[in-house]
Amino acid sequence: MHKFARTSLAVLCIVYVTILVMRSATYALRTAKEFIHPNRDTYLPQVQPCQKLATPSPEQSHLQNYRNLGQPCAN
Amino acid sequence: MRQLIFSFFCILIGINIAYCFSGVVNAPMQSMDTIGIWMLKAKAISLGPSSLNQVLHSSIYSYSHQQYPLLLPAIFALVGNIFGHFQELPGLLISPFVYSAILFICYKTLRAKLPSLLVIMLTYIYSMFGPLLAEGGRINAGNADIYITLCAWIIIFVLLNWANQKRALLIAALTIAIASQIKTEGVFLAALLIFFPSPWKKKLLPLLLALTPTVGWQILIKVNSLPSDVYLSLAGPVTLFMRTLTVLLGTAKEMFNVHNWYIFWPWLFVVGALTKPTLKPSPKWLAISLGAMYFGFLSIYILAPPQLPTATYVSSSIDRIMLQLSPLVFGILAEVFHQLIVRETPPKQTLPTE
């Protein structure tokens, strides 16, 4: 392979991996933080089994169907 | 120095695995697909036949793709009942293990052709893919695509490394059969077997074995009258052309999604452009299989019913499709680097014997 192409490829690889390593550092910090202070925050809407919802969003509806399954209100 | 860099990448991969486990333990069930499809059916299986019957037939659950195969929910139900009553966490914890297995097989597959330092770097690059990390445990634990990705890696590993052994075709066929029962689209992996350079005499029986569960499941759908929310509809040529364009543009746009893939795809194109003049296009069968699988997904996109706008359909799923195709891309990449290294390394000079 041409010397220029080989050098370009090497530089590109180094840049790419450097970006990833910086990202990995944030993952390491986040994992350590989660280990020390477990964060049980959820992105899900708060829905209780058999709770009556006026106009549920698709997410609320799916979650409620899941929680209701096996409960008397599922029928 | 080489050993140090190798260890450094191993640590980085270890961080990613820990990151996935931490995601599952701290925020177990966050994905709507997991709640609405896979874990819903797993819970129904655990509760018994009447609940399963209800989930598979009632229109309340039509969003759960009632026609999907039940292998993954069955596994979640089996693992979920390990402590006597159904729990989600054991099933979700499989995802980080699958993530780790994928990285291990990725390393083993590439190691057969490339030096260890380059392989560990490529494995690390792969481990950083956003959709893979997500399905490995960050938000999307419990989704099916990571299982199909694992199947793709197993098939590529056996076909590349055990190509001359009889068991390669058989293992590949069994893996395709399993993938097809995880999600219907898993059957597209049969392209790897179809285009694998081996005589049809040898491939026919494994291919039949690979496709049998798909045929069996389709018969079961008909016999049990399972409702299907996905069907193919043929539109006019102009509409089909516009939809094809939308899918291709959606794929190209996703390739520049830095959040998911960093600079992998642009990097790949630069690697291709820089190395193309010196390389022969090999292995052809992997590239053809990749094209065939992409064509399969493209067909699903463009033949989707009109109430499912192509742009929305593509943007909500193309990252997962690209994850499923990624093992084939890495198989080709390994061959490209292998050719480069073989070409760049001067042959060893043997000392003249006295």
Identity of the residue in B15, B35, B63 whose CB atom sits nearest the CB atom of A31: B15
For B248-299, the pLDDT digits (tens) are 999 999 999 999 999 899 988 888 887 765 556 567 889 999 999 999 999 9
Q: Which residues of B touch A24 (CB under 8 A)?
A: 12, 15-16, 128
- Report helix, strand and coil shares of chain A as percent, to nearest 5: 65, 0, 35
For B21, the closest chain A residue by CA position comes to A31
Contact A28, B22 (CB under 8 A): no
Distance from CA of A36 to the nearest CA of B (A): 11
Q: What is the pLDDT confidence band of residue B349, given thresholds at 50, 70 and 90?
A: low
Distance from CA of B340 to the nearest CA of A (A): 8
Chosen from A31, A53, A67 to mutate, greatest number of chain B CBs within 10 A: A31
Question: Does the complex come out with an ipTM higher than 0.85?
Answer: yes
Structure tokens at B334: 């390994």
Q: What is the pLDDT confidence band of residue A42, given thresholds at 50, 70 and 90?
A: low
Contact B65, B92 (CB under 8 A): no
Contact B177, B143 (CB under 8 A): no
Structure tokens at B61: 């659950």
Distance from CA of A51 to the nearest CA of B (A): 16
- Conformation bin of residue B142: beta by default, left when phi > 0, alpha when psi is -120 to 50: left
Please tell me the pTM assigned to this model.
0.92
Q: If we measure between CA atoms, which residue out of B90, B149, B162 comes closest to residue B329?
A: B149
Residue with the two structure tokens 């270890």:
B14
**Phi, psi (deg, nearest 5) at residue B30:** -115, -15
Contact B285, B195 (CB under 8 A): yes
Cα–Cα distance for residue pair B304/B298, rounded to 1 Å = 10
Cα–Cα distance for residue pair B225/B53, rounded to 1 Å = 11
